[in-house]
Amino acid sequence: MTWILVLVGLAAASTVVLTLLGIRGLLQAVPVVDRNYQDPLPPVLRLLWPLVQAATQLIGPRLSAAQLESAHKRLQAAGQDYVLSPEELYGTRVVAAISIGLLLMLFPLVMGKLEPVLLLMCFAFGLPLGWLYPLMWIGERRKLRSKQVVRDLPTFLDFITMSVEAGLNITGAIEQAVLRGPPGPLGQEFARMLRDLRAGLPRAEALRRMAERMDIAQITSFASAVIQADKVGANLSESLRAQAMQRREERFLQAEKLALEAPVKMMFPLVVFFFPQVFFVLGYFIFSEARRQGLL
């Protein structure tokens, strides 16, 4: 029996050593990617980046064009297309799935429950959670980016309108807005559109591409208004001023909506956390007074 346990232990140790050697060889075979012209990685992803590159090398060639196109649109809408490529996004999802699965397996090990079924259940639960987590992170980044764009859009429209009324064309007006407008994702997208124009892309196509990248209704409306004004020869300054007024009114209505929703959102923490403590304090004094008077 002792020899059998020794053989099982040696087999397990050999498996771990061979797995580590295989992972080391895979990481050494991954080519080094130059990221000098890309945005910096998040801190956690920077730690796992060698594993992400290895996973990308394995699954990247097996991805379909539809999967890559969908991932590219998600990254563009969140403003992360200079952080990750579509292939790297799928590599990140694979590494996140395995990492969270292994992390959840640590809980039963810490509690001393070495049951194989429980370990497999924890790993199986962590796989879909880790697979979906990068998409959840991208969704949160997209929501935050959309809020910043909607907040800054009226200011940019004012700069563009004043520049057009001063005699500049729409391209020069956008350049002035980028120089003098508040920093943020909207200014970055306008600067990207200007680079497309300098590369020879028609203005209507550059605006259409910017609207498709950002996938925000207000930006789509702005691009459509400018393209339509160019086509029919309408007064661009009046159209832009109307756009700015409409965006400000929408922002005010959104703020009013959030203010009206605040009492409803506060109801749950009040009922769960605040009211029980108030009733407990009042009940204590009522109980003390009743006991002092001999009622209890």
pLDDT in tens, 99-138: 888 888 877 777 777 677 777 888 888 888 889 999 999 9
Contact 164, 201 (CB under 8 A): no
- Provide the b/e sequence for 52-75 (b: ≥16 CB within 10 Å): bbbbbbeebeebeeeebeebbebb
Residue 7: per-residue pLDDT: 56
Residue 109: per-residue pLDDT: 72
Contact 148, 184 (CB under 8 A): yes
> 28 or 240: whose pLDDT is higher?
240
Residue 266: per-residue pLDDT: 78
Closest-CA residue to 194 (of 211, 214, 212, 172):
172
* Mean pLDDT value across residues 200-227: 85
pLDDT digits (tens, 9 = 90+) for 145-156: 888 888 888 888
Would the pLDDT of 63 be above 60? yes
Would the pLDDT of 202 be above 60? yes
Contact 75, 84 (CB under 8 A): yes
> Model pTM?
0.71
Name the pLDDT band for 24 (thresholds 50, 70, 90): low
Residue 273: per-residue pLDDT: 76
* Mean pLDDT value across residues 151-171: 83
Residue 10: per-residue pLDDT: 58
